[in-house]
Amino acid sequence: MSHSPNVDVSTFMDARKMSARQWLVLFLGFMVLVFDGFDTTAIGFIAPALVDDWGVLRHDLGPVMMSGLLGLAFGSLTAGPLADRFGRRPVIIGSVLLFGFWSLASAWSTGITSLTILRFLTGVGLGASMPNTATLISEFAPKRYRSHMVSFIYCGFAFGAALGGLGSEWLIEHFGWRSVLVAGGVLPIAFALLLVLSLPESIRFLAQNSALKDRLIKEINKVAPGLANAQTHFHSSETAIKATGKVSALFAPGFSLGTCMIWVTLFMGLLTMYLLSSWLPLLSRDAGLSMGEAALLGSLLQIGGMLGNFTVGMKMDRWEHHKVVGATVFCGGACAVLIALQQPTMQVLCPLILLLGYFLNGVNVGGYALAAAFYPTQIRATGVCWATGIGRLGAISGAGIGALMLAAQWNFSQVFLFLAIPSLLGVTALWVKSRKRNASAIATAAN
C-alpha cells in the first residue's frame, strides 16, 4: 500500500475490513473477560466448601462477598482516568496481573478477615480490567461492528463464569477449595505475560499525543502495511475535549446529561440483574419449587443473559442505539410483570425467566456499548469505567434490596412487580438522553 500524507485516525478503522490485527485484539479481549468471569464468580463456587472447612455460618461469608463487589466498583472508578492518561494497554495488563496475584494470595487465607481483605484487592483488579478492555475493543473495531464486538467480549465473562462452575466442582473434589483460587491466580498471571508480548495499544489513544507518533506509525502499519511514514500527518475529526483523564470532563458541556442518563440506565439494569442473580433460587424455593427447579431457573437466567449479550450488540450496529437499548429495557420490565402475574410453575417460568435474562443482560451490555460510543477518545476509558462503577454500585444495591425484601416477607410476585420500577426509570433515562441527542443534531444541522 502507498503512503498516505494524511490519516484521520477517528475514521481509519471504519472504512476497512477486519484485519488479522483486529481479530487478535478481539480474541485477547475475550480471553481477559473469560479470566475475569472465572475469578469474579469463584468465591460463590467455593463458599459451601469454606463453610465446611472453617466451620462458619453462611451469613459469616457476607463480608467476603460484599468486599469483592466493593473492590469491583473501586477498580472501575479509579482505572478509567489512569487508562486515559497512560494508555489502555498498561492498565489492562496491570489489572490482569493484579487480580491474578491477589487471587493466588487468597488461596492462603486463614480466616474470614484475611479473605475479605484479599477479595477486595482481587476485586480492584477485576473491576479495572473489564471496562478498559471494552474501551480498547471499541477503539479497534470498525464503527459498523463496534457494538457487536463490545457485546461479544462480554460473552467471555459469562463463559468464564460457566467454566468456573464446572471446573470448581472438579478441583474442589480432587484438591480442595484452595485449588480454585490457585487456578484463578496462576492462569491470569500466565496470560498477562502473553498480553505483554501481543496486546497492542489503541491507535486512537496514541494519536492523542504527538510524542507517541513513532508508536502510532508502527501500529497503523500493522493494520494497514505501508500506509504511514514519518511524513504522514495524523488528525482526528472526533470531538476535542480538555481535562483528559479527569472525571470532571464527563460533565463538560454536551456530556453532562448523557453521562447522568447512562449512569441511571446501568445502575437500574445491574440493580435488577444482581437482585435476581442473588435471590432467585431462594425466592423460587419460597414459592414452592424444589432445589433442583430453583437451580434450573438460576441457570436459565444466565443462559438468557449470554444470548442477550451477543444479539443486542448486533441490533445496535443495525439500528439506532437508544431505541434498541430502550426497547430491551421495556421488554425486560414487561417480562418481570408478566412473571409476577402468573402462577409460579416450571412450565410458565422456564421460558419467561430465559427471556428475562435475555433482556436484563442485554440492557447492561447495551449500556456499556452506549457509553463507549458516547465519549470521545480522550475520556472514553474514564467514561466507560465510571459507568461500569456506577452500575456495580447498582449491583450492590440490588443484592441489599433483595435481602431487605426477604426480611420483610415479600413474596415471589411482589418482588417481580417491583422490578418494573427500575425498568421504568431506565427507559425514562434513555428517552431523555435520546431527546437531548436529537435536539443537538437538529441544532447542528441548522447551523
Q: Do residues 333 and 380 share a domain?
A: yes
Judge whether 224 and 1 are in contact, CB under 8 Å: yes
Q: Do residues 255 and 119 share a domain?
A: no
CA end-to-end span of the chain: 39
Interatomic CA distance for residues 302 and 164, integer angstroms? 14
Q: Is 242 contained in some domain? A: no
Q: Do residues 313 and 362 share a domain?
A: yes
Q: Is 1 contained in some domain? A: no
Q: Is 314 contained in some domain? A: yes
Amino acid symbol at 349:
L
CATH number at residue 111: 1.20.1250.20
pLDDT value of residue 446: 38
C-alpha closest to that of 382 among 226, 251, 290: 251
Instruction: Give me the residue label for grid cell 470532563.
Output: 249
Q: Do residues 296 and 272 share a domain?
A: yes
Burial pattern 123-132, b for ≥16 Cβ within 10 A else e, equals bbbbbbbbbb
Phi-psi group of 168: left, alpha or beta (phi > 0 → left; psi -120 to 50 → alpha; rest → beta): alpha
Q: Is 74 contained in some domain? A: yes
Torsion of CA 125, 126, 128, 131, to 10 degrees: 170
Q: Do residues 412 and 284 share a domain?
A: yes
Residue ending a domain, choose from 235, 261, 276: 235
Q: Is 241 contained in some domain? A: no
Q: Do residues 193 and 300 share a domain?
A: no
Q: Do residues 116 and 187 share a domain?
A: yes
Interatomic CA distance for residues 281 and 137, integer angstroms? 35
Q: Do residues 254 and 213 share a domain?
A: no
pLDDT value of residue 91: 93
- CA dist 50 to 181, 182, 208, Å? 12, 15, 49
Interatomic CA distance for residues 352 and 241, integer angstroms? 45
Residue ending a domain, choose from 235, 264, 288: 235
Q: Is 328 contained in some domain? A: yes
Instruction: Give me the residue label for grid cell 474514564.
Output: 382
Judge whether 140 and 13 are in contact, CB under 8 Å: yes
Distance of CA 370 to the CA centre of its chain: 12
Q: Do residues 400 and 251 share a domain?
A: yes
Range of the domain at 185: 6-235
Q: Do residues 224 and 259 share a domain?
A: no
- Write out residues in the chain with pLDDT < 70, as ranges: 1-10, 14-15, 58-59, 165, 210-211, 223-245, 278, 281-282, 291, 295, 312-318, 320-321, 436-447
Q: Is 260 contained in some domain? A: yes
Q: Do residues 251 and 204 share a domain?
A: no
Containing 234, the helix (H) or strand (E) segment is strand 233-235
Q: Do residues 134 and 112 share a domain?
A: yes
Residue ending a domain, choose from 206, 235, 264: 235
pLDDT value of residue 235: 60
- CA dist 97 to 32, 94, 126, 366, Å? 11, 5, 10, 28
Specify the number of domains making up the chain: 2
Interatomic CA distance for residues 325 and 317, integer angstroms? 12
Residues, the chain: 447
Q: Is 240 contained in some domain? A: no
Interatomic CA distance for residues 421 and 292, integer angstroms? 30
